Homo-oligomer: A and B are copies of this chain.
Amino acid sequence: MIEGLRETKRAATAQALAEAAFHLAKERGLDGFVIDEVAEMAGYSRRTFANHYPCKEAAVASVAYAGIEAAADALEEVSEGRPLLDAVEVVLRLQLTTTGLSRMREVLTLARAYPSLEPHVYYVQHQMRLEVEERMVAVAAGHYPASYLTLLVGAVYGMVSSALEGLVDVRLPGDLPIRGAVEFDEFLTEVFKHLRTGF
């Protein structure tokens, strides 16, 4: 799982293209720009954009992925000598404090305005779930059967997904991610209350 310079650069271009697409989408709306403009803003060609993303929507949605890899990485060390569910909760709250949540919130808000974004948003969420599940298995496969972990991650995913849905409705003038974060925090507490008794 080493990351050579090659993959790093590839990821960087993808990132740059995604950020440009995201920026333009917030600025002018999803249908207010064309792929050429995204490519130009990021300093690449339209053809290169197509090498990384199949469409504008996928690029925009991909920014919601932010932070989950770092969170998944953290799972490894956090779970040392700690109940599994505690580790999961810590990691989720970590994701909450980084830009991860606000990014997801912005993307979900965009998706509400432009339905063609929605499939790609939920796909990104699905990929985040897979990322977490993979790490989870890597960390705890010795203590729990994989099917159990899959189920656990599924439950967490489903409930957190519900929480995210609720976040979009919150629409304050200042657009502070704080308020959303607080609500999300309370929701997380509720989620883990159920999880601790059920798992």
Binding site for B on A (CB under 8 A): 54, 58, 116, 118-120, 122-123, 125-126, 129, 147, 150-151, 153-162, 165-166, 190-191, 194-195, 197-199
Contact = CB atoms under 8 A, between A and B. Distances in A.
Interface centre among A125, A156, A159, A165 (most CB of B within 10 A): A159
Contact of A159 (B58, B122, B125, B151): B151
Contact of A158 (B118, B147, B157): B157
Interface centre among A119, A162, A197 (most CB of B within 10 A): A119
Given A54-B116, A154-B159, A194-B198, 4 more contacts: A118-B123, A151-B194, A153-B158, A157-B158
A154 B162 contact: yes
A194 B156 CA distance: 12
Contacts of A123: 118-119, 122-123
Contacts of A54: 116
A157 to B, nearest CB: 4
A191 B122 contact: no
B122 A190 contact: no
Count this chain's copies in the assembly: 2
A141 B138 CA distance: 40
**Would you list the 4 A-B pairs with minimal beta carbon distance, nearest first?**
A198-B198, A158-B158, A119-B123, A154-B162
B158 A154 contact: yes
A25 to B, nearest CB: 16
Interface centre among A125, A158, A159, A199 (most CB of B within 10 A): A158
A20 to B, nearest CB: 20
Nearest to A157: B158
Contacts of A166: 150
A122 B161 CA distance: 13
Contacts of A190: 147, 151
